[in-house]
Structure 1
Amino acid sequence: MYRHEQVSTTTLPVKLVVHTEYLESQNVLRHWHQALEVDYIIRGDAEFVISGQRITASSGDVIVINPNEIHSVKPLKAVDNHTLSLTFLFPYEFLHRECETIDKSWFKLSDDSSQINLLKQTLFDYYKNSQTKSTEQKFLLMSEIYLMLFYLFHYFLESKSNSVNLPTVPTLHKLSSVIDFINEHSADDLSLPQIAGTVHLSEGYLSRTFKEQMGEGVMEYVNLVRLRNAFEILTNTEKDIETISDLAGFANVKSFRRLFAKVYQTTPGKYRINLKGHKTT
């Protein structure tokens, strides 16, 4: 749901996010962060788009997302109505402190299943041991963090090559200003010329760069933000469909219903009815 996620931790240098429910609202629009992200899909399926490449991950798969890679995540289905996936975020400052040459490096999983299994076991051990809170437990978790880093650096670290095509920092800053404006004003009557003028970019440059880096057009992204906001209103209030469409900024209720059906494979009204049915069972 974020354009540029600021990754922070508490007493440990790694942030763990545990996903245990299958929810369409967990669709994450394209974003980036400086942290190294490692996703372990234990049960369920998900579709990732990473630097323009579409990857379908199933139970048992591990996905590595390098710092500043633009990516999105979409849950596909649960296994027996359950899902369990782990997202580990290693902040850039921590990685740089441990390895000063990290900027010249690139993590890429190998085809060696034995190497990946070692990483998977450590990821799961950390998740399992993180359920217990004690002073001693912190030391165990720290040891597992460094074991994760050992496997990542020993087996999966490569030197960056010319084939690695990440957007530059200035480009990311420009995209940030565009996405910030869209998130703040998505309910308004927006247009490409208006957005381009507000962020002081030409329409041509904005259209071309946004499409190249985000994988969709500016106005397509505007409507996805509107849809995300409409989904939250739909599932958390009793407002009627026409009011939700208007509050989210859609030109008309027809365009809202069309996009909702395209993404969620049903109408807003039927989705709400099904959701209420699940809550009462």
Structure 2
Amino acid sequence: MEYLHEMIKSTSQLPVKMFTFHSTNPKRIIPKHWHLSSELLYCLSGSLVIWKGSKQYILHPQDVLLINPNEIHSTQSPEQNHILVIQFPIEFLQKVTNGKFYRAFEFNLNTIASRKPAQDLLPILNRLSAFSKQYTIIDNLHATAAIYELIALLCTNYMIETPQSSLNRAGDLTLLGNITGYIQQHYQESLTLSQVSSQFGYSASYFSKLFSNRMNLTFSDYLQQLRLDVANDRLLNSNETLINIAFDVGFSSYRNFYNAFYTNYQMSPTKYRKRYQHDKILHV
């Protein structure tokens, strides 16, 4: 019940989504999710735990890890940290590589696994961390130039042939993106597997197998995790009543919401809100 599909959009005038974050809350785990973009994580200070597939990695200062499309991952900050995140939309990477990215090659960049520092990338990543908020047109232009320089280095030094297992899944990426996008638009409704499968022209049994095989979780578990993720944001950023949040995000009863929330966060919604609602640094 943990895997969530994340829709990535570019930031401001940049061709990528780029930001830095600080985390001071070791209890908060970003739920397992996947997206159609490539995501680069660069540790500026502190540390960051990353679960990528079935493996765990811990980023320390100057460590870099890149997650390719359709790779399920999750993160946790065990201590106060500062992390640069760059998310490259797959359409952008395919455009600048003449359609070769992911169809013919992907990136292999993990300084923890390789035990080799990415010294060639550090000057660019340090520059980009200063542009992560894009205050001016000039900042945007310098950042855009650095992004293209970064992609050139990734293609030169960190490119590998796309595994056959990834190619076998490539045909489903657009379909899964459309399906999860539809669910994200209608999660507040009383969605059922039959309704969604019918929307996309599949039988319920075929759709159930397709969704489970590609997402590694059931339709109902995915829908529940999506609702919890929205509820979490509203718990921390509003003063709405718990009952109103529970029903508004699509749960059929407060008890169902409470049980699901407790299972996922190991504490009640009330206790979670009281502990973390004013943690502004973490939840910006």
Offset at residue 162 of structure 1 (A): 2.5
Q: 1:240-255 maps to which residues of 2 (within 5 A)?
A: 240-255=241-256
Cα distance in structure 2, aligned partners of 1:6 and 1:121: 25
Cα distance in structure 1, aligned partners of 2:262 and 2:174: 33
Cα distance in structure 2, aligned partners of 1:189 and 1:136: 47
Q: Which has the higher contact order (CA 8 A, sep 6+)?
A: 2
Look up the match of 2:192: 191
Look up the match of 1:215: 216
Which residue, 7, 10, 13 being the options, matches 1:7? Answer: 10
Contact 2:19/2:133 (<8 A) preserved: no
Write the letter of the residue equivalent to 1:32. Answer: H
Offset at residue 267 of structure 1 (A): 0.7
Look up the match of 1:107: 107
Look up the match of 1:16: 18
Deviation sequence 1:89-114 (CA, Å, 0-9, x none): 34556545554344411211365544
Offset at residue 247 of structure 1 (A): 1.8
Cα distance in structure 1, aligned partners of 2:236 and 2:178: 29
Deviation sequence 1:97-135 (CA, Å, 0-9, x none): 554344411211365544523323431233236679678
Cα distance in structure 2, aligned partners of 1:97 and 1:185: 31
Distance 1:236 1:21, change over 3 A: same
Q: TM-score, normalised by structure 1?
A: 0.77
Write the letter of the residue equivalent to 2:266. Answer: Q
Cα distance in structure 1, aligned partners of 2:131 and 2:209: 47
Cα distance in structure 2, aligned partners of 1:222 and 1:28: 13
Look up the match of 1:256: 257
Look up the match of 2:48: 45
Cα distance in structure 1, aligned partners of 2:6 and 2:141: 34
Q: Classify the secondary structure of the residue corresponding to 2:267.
A: coil
Q: Classify the secondary structure of the residue corresponding to 2:251.
A: coil
Cα distance in structure 1, aligned partners of 2:246 and 2:182: 20
Cα distance in structure 1, aligned partners of 2:139 and 2:243: 52
Offset at residue 260 of structure 1 (A): 1.3
RMSD: 3.4
Distance 1:205 1:150, change over 3 A: same
| 2:84 is the counterpart of 1:86 | yes
Offset at residue 58 of structure 1 (A): 2.8
Q: Classify the secondary structure of the residue corresponding to 1:125.
A: helix
In terms of Rg, which structure is larger? 1
**Gaps spanning 5+ residues in structure 2: where?**
none
Say how many residue pairs are matched.
270
Give the percent of matched residue pairs that are identical in Structure 1 and Structure 2: 21
Q: Classify the secondary structure of the residue corresponding to 1:109.
A: coil
**Gaps spanning 5+ residues in structure 1: where?**
none
Cα distance in structure 2, aligned partners of 1:7 and 1:134: 17
Larger displacement relative to structure 2 (200-209 or 97-106): 97-106
Contact 1:5/1:31 (<8 A) preserved: no
| 2:230 is the counterpart of 1:229 | yes
Q: Classify the secondary structure of the residue corresponding to 1:118.
A: coil
Offset at residue 199 of structure 1 (A): 2.5
Distance 1:112 1:252, change over 3 A: closer
Q: TM-score, normalised by structure 2?
A: 0.77
Offset at residue 270 of structure 1 (A): 0.7
Deviation sequence 1:249-273 (CA, Å, 0-9, x none): 2132222122212222211011122
Cα distance in structure 2, aligned partners of 1:180 and 1:129: 30
Distance 1:231 1:160, change over 3 A: closer
Deviation sequence 1:223-270 (CA, Å, 0-9, x none): 111112222232233333223222222132222122212222211011
Distance 1:216 1:118, change over 3 A: same
